[in-house]
Chain A
């Protein structure tokens, strides 16, 4: 039977990127639909994700799956080759733990540190650094969080490894630096250099001005509040 796979995403969204990278790692062909999430969300998006109204949405043979981590688990269970989660239940639980840690702690504080006003920045930055130190410990001498090859934790950590690195360039911050976090920094380099990752990441020269504009908007909204 022909598989129909679609991804409703946004070119600059780190969450949307996860869904695309996972499909690419599995060699699954899909149609990509870019949503105008800051302007006009399509009727289809609102139909497929009525609860959160967000990207990414994975549509598989007409059935929608939403929330990036739920999508990653679904992709893993549906296309059972090039597995990116460990088979052993304990190792799987450990991978899920780090994914939750990245999404609930690392990524949000790093983003906050990027756009926070000067007077609040130090406290948030210190918190972010603590989280990065903890995340680095999860690497434990391995090349990737998944071991020799990219795993689900690496896919999720792309938010930190790529998107945050771009963000800190704009802000002139040095959060994820080679001297402070040598292992994590090396991981982000190795990750971005994988051919499959390289060919699917949003281009830096396009992402830089976009994130700059987004940060300005956050700062503006925060000043008004």
Chain B
């Protein structure tokens, strides 16, 4: 049966990027629909009535919402190629833990870096570096969080790399200076076609952030 896969997305969303990467890793052909979040489509509101958010993965007409749930779904349905989660339950649990950690910390703390200034921003920067250092420690000497190949945590985390330049400019600091191994990991991921195709240009993201700052009246 012909598979019909649609992704409702928004180009700077790190959450959308996760699903893009997962689909690309599995070699799945899909229709990419860009949403205007100020004017959400009827399809988006119908497919995600609870949260009205992107990304939404629509597989043969049925919606799957929430990016990490989508990545797990993609991994389970298209299980014969490029497995993202390990098969061992303990290793799987470890991967889920760190993906959950990325979810709880990076977006919120990163957000505070570009949305605030002065002392609040200084605190946010410190917290972000601490968070990144912990992830760097978890990576250790492995080429990827998934080991020898791209895994669940890599897919969950690498999208935020496309926001690093913007955060560095807004916060006037260097992430590479603090976490060189992490940046090496990120560049390694970017060499993969699935990742390079799915992440937007960092300058473009910075321009987007500047627009958002103007829109919200942040200096």
Contacts and interface: CB of A to CB of B under 8 A. Distances in A.
Interface of A: 51, 60, 63, 65-67, 69-71, 73-74, 77-78, 89-90, 92-93, 96-97, 100-101, 134
Q: Which of A60, A70, A74, A93 has the most CB of B within 10 A?
A: A93
A97 B90 contact: no
A96 B72 contact: yes
Contact of B90 (A51, A65, A90): A65
A148 B190 CA distance: 47
22 contacts: A60-B90, A63-B90, A65-B97, A67-B96, A67-B100, A70-B96, A71-B93, A73-B93, A74-B89, A74-B93, A77-B92, A78-B89, A89-B76, A90-B59, A90-B62, A92-B76, A93-B64, A97-B64, A97-B65, A97-B66, A97-B69, A100-B66
B101 interface: yes
Contacts of A70: 93, 96-97, 100
Contacts of B122: none
Given A70-B97, A89-B76, A92-B76, A77 B89 contact: yes
Contacts of B100: 67, 69-70
A89 B75 CA distance: 10
A209 B34 CA distance: 52
A93 B97 contact: no
A134 B97 CA distance: 27
Interface string B155-190: 000000000000000000000000000000000000
B42 interface: no
Interface string B87-108: 0011011001100110000000
Contacts of B59: 90
A60 B89 CA distance: 11
Contacts of A90: 59, 62, 64, 73
B134 interface: yes
Interface in B50-98: 50, 59, 62, 64-66, 69-70, 72-73, 76-77, 89-90, 92-93, 96-97
A8 to B, nearest CB: 16
Contact of B77 (A77, A89, A97): A89
A22 B22 CA distance: 30
Contacts of A96: 66, 69, 72
A70 B97 CA distance: 7
Nearest to A88: B76
B69 A65 contact: no
Given A90-B62, A134-B50, 16 more contacts: A51-B134, A67-B100, A69-B100, A70-B93, A70-B100, A73-B96, A74-B90, A74-B93, A77-B92, A89-B73, A89-B76, A92-B73, A93-B64, A93-B73, A96-B66, A101-B50
Contacts of A74: 89-90, 92-93
* Residue of B64, B93, B96 contacting most chain A CB atoms (<10 Å): B93
Contacts of B92: 73-74, 77
Contacts of A67: 96-97, 100
B93 A65 contact: yes
Nearest to A76: B89
